[in-house]
Amino acid sequence: MSKAFTRETTPAPGQDDDEDGPALPPLPAGTRNYMTPAGYARLRAEFMHLIDEERPKLVETVSWAAKNGDRSENGDYLYGKKRLREIDRRLRFLTKRLDIAEVVDASQHHGSEQIFFGATVTYADASGLERTVTIKGIDESDSLAGEVSWISPIARTLLKARVGDELKLVTPVGVETIEVVEVSYPAPEASG
């Protein structure tokens, strides 16, 4: 067998064994994958869409393309096989993440001034500049929307703090003092 088809290194724990591109950072060892109910629903919906809709259609296309003769020059076949590998890789990733998911309803802390997972926190730096972040799961945070992962340095600094607390945030340029200005949580849904 050609050396090109053998694996010389083993993947790190928590890393997919055939990951080709950039991936989300691995979860800290031994932890659950904390998620909001909306984040869990979004990942579950993506999983179901891939397995129930996209993958079966692609398998049908690849099967049709395979019947059309020379596979080495058949674009539908080559692209389809590549896309199937991508879908299967994503399905494995989603399965692993959903298996260790722990859904946390942040509304149970509504009215609290202490910072827990799911909190929206406004903090001020030494110059008085205020920033607002929402602490979410690693698979659902979006920095452009002001959401940070619960394992990020800012979230880890903020967790368990209360309004008025002064904290030391370690940044690449040094230690910065920040003060918690406001903490809020989503309102609990009315049960009817």
Could you please state the CATH topology (level 3) that the domain comprising 107-184 is classified under.
Chitinase A; domain 3 (3.10.50)
pLDDT above 60 for 138: yes
Cα 87 from Cα 68, distance rounded (Å): 23
For 168-187, how does the pLDDT look when each residue is reduced to its tens digit (9 = 90+)? 998 888 899 999 999 999 88
Residue 5 has pLDDT above 80, yes or no: no
Place of tokens 């090109």: 4
Q: Is residue 1 pLDDT above 50, yes or no? A: no
CA–CA gap between residue 136 and residue 154 (Å, rounded): 12
Task: Give 77-96 pLDDT, tens digit per residue.
Answer: 888 889 999 999 999 999 99
Parse the chain into domains and list their residue ranges: 31-103, 107-184
CATH number at 31-103 = 1.10.287.180
| Per-residue pLDDT tens digits for 46-74 | 999 999 999 999 999 888 888 877 777 77
130-136/120-125 β-pairing: antiparallel
pLDDT at 87: 95
Reading the block at residue 175, the tokens are: 């230690």
- Weakest mean pLDDT among 12-21, 78-87, 125-134: 12-21
